Each structure stands twice: as C-alpha cells, then as structure tokens.
Amino acid sequence: MKATQYVAREPDANGFIHYPETEHQVWNTLITRQLKVIEGRACQEYLDGIEKLGMPHDRIPQLGEINKVLQATTGWRVARVPALIPFQTFFELLASQQFPVATFIRTPEELDYLQEPDIFHEIFGHCPLLTNPWFAEFTHTYGKLGLKASKEERVYLARLYWMTIEFGLMDTPQGRRIYGGGILSSPKETVYALSGEPEHQAFDPLECMRTPYRIDILQPLYFVLPDLKRLFDLAHEDIMALVHKAMTMGLHAPKFPPKPKAA
C-alpha cells in the first residue's frame, strides 16, 4: 500500500458527506470540461449511463443518489472507501456488486492528473457503465475471480482490468469509441487515445494479461473490443485458464521506458 496525501471525507450521522465549496467547484470544473471532451469519443453505452445517473454539475453527488440509479438498473451500488484500499478489499467489494469510491476530490493543482482514484474518476469514469448489464456482469465476475486468486494470479488479472475497465476502447458503427474509465475521466488521455498516436490492437484477453503497463504515463497501447457484449461473453469463459496460460507464456517487452528512479 502506497501512501496518499488525500483523506476521504466521512459522512455525518445521516450518511450525508459535507464537502467545502472549493471542492464542489473542482467537481464543476472537471465535469463541465470533460462532458465537452467526450463528445464523439465516448461509447453510446457510457453516454446512456451518464444520462441515467443525471449527475449534478454544481456539486459533488452524494453516494446515495448514485446508488438509487445503479440498484434500479443492474443491482450494483457504490461503497465509500479510504483513498487507497488493498487488493483483497477491492475484490471483496466487486464480488458483492459494490464499486469502491474514495470520498475525496483532487486539488485544483492536480486537476489534470492524479495517481490515486478520486470521486470524480470513480463516479464519472466508471459508474455510467455500471448501469449496463454486460459491463456490470463482467465486473462482478472479475471480482469473484480475484477473490479466489493467488497473489501472482491477481497481477495478471490486474492487467486485464487495466486494459479493459480502465483503458479499453471499442469499435462501434459510428467508429472507434472509448469505454475505459481511466481514459474518460482524463481530458488529455481522452483526446490522445483516439489521436492516431498510440497503438491499437484487437482485444485479446491473453494479450492483455501479458502486456506490462505504467500508471503514470499516457498508455502506448490500447486494446479494442469488437463491441461491449464481448466483456459479457468473456465473463462466461474460463478466465483463470487464460491467466495460467499467460503466466506460462510470460510478459511481452514493455512499450515504454523504465520509470525514472527517485533521487
């Protein structure tokens, strides 16, 4: 577990989280800016989810508001967590159809990027697609598999998650679109991912598991689903058999330079 400078906000006795006005302003800046950037870039299923959630623009939403919609659409809900949680907790939550949301928001100084997932990343980036049954099914299956997996197996599962739920692209009749929450909550990566600069590969879960990544750079490679239903189909395949095959085959050479060592 890495240290974080952020502290998740606690709810009051009624479950209401009070955020200072400055933090509501950060949310407003982030959501109004990002809604413009995702036009013509986000997949329709994500946009449908945005519409269903009806997130406020002038304030940070309360988790109860998000839960009402998620539970009515797919039976999911969000769970309040500290800034960073262990893998075990993460898998336990997903396995019980709860998506972890850290109740803090980035500072104005880190508006464009931060390594810890904040409430904007989790709610704006991920919750819209949790209203979609195919995406929700895959995420639930992923949690159940992770809960039973060994430490080594989890590393391979983590790469699959990174290349799909966080940084996935998909083909649609309208063209190539984004569904990964890590991209959709980042203005820079939303533009970059479809710019023609990074490499795109047809989705292959085995290849995803064998591809190293870094969390602190724009991704050099994105995997492209033929459609969102591919995730639902994958949920009903033997994912752990693929994990074991990937472990036997080993990793590809990284497509990025090594992380600079701290002085």
Which residues are part of a known binding site for Fe cation?
A: 121, 126, 166
Annotated binding site: 121, 126, 166
One-letter amino acid for residue 134 of the chain? W
Dihedral sign of CA atoms 242, 243, 246, 248 in order: negative
Q: 263: how many CB neighbours lie within 10 A of its CB?
A: 3
| 3-class secondary structure, 127 | coil
Please report where in the chains the tokens 């190293």 appear, as a residue. Answer: 212
Please report the DSSP string for 107-118 in residue order.
-GGGSS--SS--
| 3-class secondary structure, 61 | coil
| Residue 157 to residue 106: CA distance in whole angstroms | 27
Where b means 16+ CB within 10 Å and e means fewer, 235-255 reads beeebeebbeebbeeeeeeee
